[in-house]
Amino acid sequence: MESPPGRNLVCRCFLVDEETIRKAIAEHKLQQVEEVTAVTRAGGGCSSCWDDIQGILSQVWGKPRPRDVPDESGLSSAQKRALIVKMLDAEIHPLLDLNRIQMQLVDVTGDRVLARFTGNGVGTTAPSFLALKRYVVQKVTEAVGHKMNLVELNVLEALAP
For 115-130, how does the pLDDT look when each residue is reduced to its tens digit (9 = 90+)? 999 988 887 788 888 8
Class of domain 77-159: alpha beta
Query: 64, 65, 67: which is closest to 53 by C-alpha?
Result: 64
pLDDT band for 64, please (50, 70, 90 cuts).
confident
What share of the chain has pLDDT > 90, as a percent? Answer: 48
67 contacts 112 by C-beta, under 8 angstroms: no
Q: Where in the chain is the domain with CATH 1.10.10.1100?
A: 9-61
Mean pLDDT in residue range 81-103: 94
Q: Where in the chain is the domain with CATH 3.30.300.130?
A: 77-159
**How far is it, in rounded angstroms, from Cα 99 to Cα 111?**
27
Burial bucket for residue 48 (CB in 10 Å: 0-12, 13-18, 19+): exposed
Predicted structure pTM score: 0.68
Does residue 14 surpass a pLDDT of 50? yes
Which architecture characterizes domain 9-61 according to CATH?
Answer: Orthogonal Bundle (1.10)
73 contacts 110 by C-beta, under 8 angstroms: no
Name 152's bridge partners.
115
